[in-house]
Amino acid sequence: MLAVVGVVIQAGTMSMPGIIDAQKDFELFGVGIGGVPFVVPQVIGFVVFLIAAQAELNQAPFDMPVAESELVAGFMTEYTGFRFLTFFLAETASMVAYAAIAATLFLGGWYLPGVDQLHGLVAGVVGVAVLLTKTMLIGFLMFWVRFSNPRLREDQLQRFAWIGLIPCPSSTSSSRASSRWCSEWPTPSPGC
């Protein structure tokens, strides 16, 4: 996904724990009290990631497979009881997985300023609670978008993807890569 490229460039690694460690030490304009999450400099990437996750999960407003017959729930109207529950739980579990990935990439995962001083079981429990809280907040945001926006037509969806979703993360990723490349450019030694 193009939305994640900027985070990977900014962190300098593709490892999830490495991305969290990079957010612990990240400073924005020289200010980094306890680290700055990547959602601050990568807000466009965060929004594009959430939109792409909604589209990948076939949730409204991107639910084209469900809209093919314009029924209440599309192909799921044929399922009742336990079969419908299985589909619904799989969709919700996928949404939670995307929310946890977004919380890790953009919000610092299990890191919270001050948790570094905790040790042992307490640090583990607090870290899990922090990650679950961030995941639930992003999940709430995803459900809010799902229930409050109407379904897009196919032409609106294509226009939105080609005009908005592809150029924005591409430009932010290229600007992030060029700024990273310029910041690591070797400076001449004073004796030259």
pLDDT tens for the chain, 192 residues long, are: 688 998 999 899 999 999 999 998 887 766 666 778 999 889 999 999 999 999 888 887 877 766 655 556 666 667 778 888 888 899 899 999 999 999 999 999 999 887 777 888 888 899 999 999 999 999 999 999 988 888 777 788 888 888 888 888 888 888 878 877 777 765 555 554
Cβ–Cβ under 8 Å, residues 28 and 36: yes
Per-residue model confidence (pLDDT) at position 192: 47
Residue in 63, 75, 48 with CA at minimum distance from that of residue 157: 63
Cβ–Cβ under 8 Å, residues 2 and 44: no
Residue in 7, 16, 3 with CA at minimum distance from that of residue 47: 3
What tokens were used for 118? 């905790």
Can you list the pairs that 49-56 forms with residues at least 24 positions away whose Cβ atoms lie under 8 Å?
49/1, 49/3, 49/4, 49/102, 49/105, 49/106, 50/102, 50/138, 50/141, 50/142, 50/145, 51/165, 52/1, 52/3, 52/165, 53/95, 53/98, 53/99, 53/102, 53/142, 54/142, 54/145, 54/146, 56/98
Q: Give the residues across from 84 on adjacent strands.
A: none
Q: What is the CA radius of gyration of the chain?
A: 20
Residue in 165, 154, 147, 159 with CA at minimum distance from that of residue 67: 154
